[in-house]
Amino acid sequence: MYDAVEEFLQSQINLIPIRYSYSEIRKMSKGFKDKLGEGGYGSIYRGKLKSGPLVAIKMLGNSKANGQEFINEVATIGRIHHVNVVQLIGFYAEEPKHALIYEFMPNGSLEKYIFSREESIPISIEKIFEISLGVARGIEYLYRGCDVQILHFDIKPHNILLDENFIPKFSDFGLAKIYPTNDSIVSLTTARGTLGYIALELFYKNIGVVSYKANVYSFGMFPTWVYGQFSKGNDIELEDALEEKKKIVKKMIIVALWCIQMKPSDRPSMKKIVEMLEGEVECLQMPSKPFLSSSPVRPTGDVGDNLNSTSSSFQ
């Protein structure tokens, strides 16, 4: 795997991120003293560049999988620059260690704001909507804005980081795949991603082919009980909420429900999703029930996204 990593790096003629030495990494992290998090990939530490900006340093483990994750990260975000994708500043690649250096996101991940029960982490409905729109634009860019299409395959609140202005940025491209822009069907041997966010076609081939619509599904994850609430004509309980806030919430829920339609062909494109979020809620229609009652796997956790009942308009 280390040979594969080095061969990959040598093949990247126009590589933008800087290659650092281990001593430079250790110095910018002050001896890896300030740990920000830890996972199956390794550990993340706070660091600081000589020029002043703070960075997040992801030290990868020694497994073959982490070697492939390193290649995926550098191959994807190492070649693009977008306001809704975290910037890869540099890397370290010498046996037996690998490291990735990203811009520092002071407000952490979206997960702690929408799943936390702590009252000390407030976030407004308007801000959640802005974040949702930013995430949608980021996914659309990965699909249509690059010279290739990048499928993330692990879109979830944990991998959406927030900068000082709460602008959302995609991170963790370890499971990502790159395809030519003219390829609409993706070839995968196994399902990839996090349970509860993986599109059903990755498990059940008879539902439809695997495509960028799998990312649409992940974007739409919201609690499934909302569908029942709205189909009965009930409003979501929002204490002291103004009518405008209720409209924002309803819009996000309707869009979310469209995104989690079982068949990929029934889900809107990311371009359509952005249009829906930017448009008026009165123009949106409620989609069909996202899951069949006899469906053998019903994702747990959050879900979301949606629009028109005519699948041809979503392509």
Which positions are annotated as active-site residues?
A: 154
Exposed e or buried b for every residue in 172-194, given b needs 16+ CB within 10 A? Answer: bbbbbbbbeeeeeebeeeeebbb
Separation CA 247–CA 242 (nearest Å): 9
Separation CA 193–CA 156 (nearest Å): 9
H-type alpha helices, the chain: 2-11, 22-28, 64-76, 111-114, 125-140, 213-219, 225-231, 243-259, 270-278
Tokens 């940025």, residue located: 169
Contact 259, 291 (CB under 8 A): no
Tokens 């995926």, residue located: 72
Contact 139, 89 (CB under 8 A): no
Separation CA 218–CA 195 (nearest Å): 10
Beta bridge partners of 37: 44
Tokens describing residue 123: 């976030």
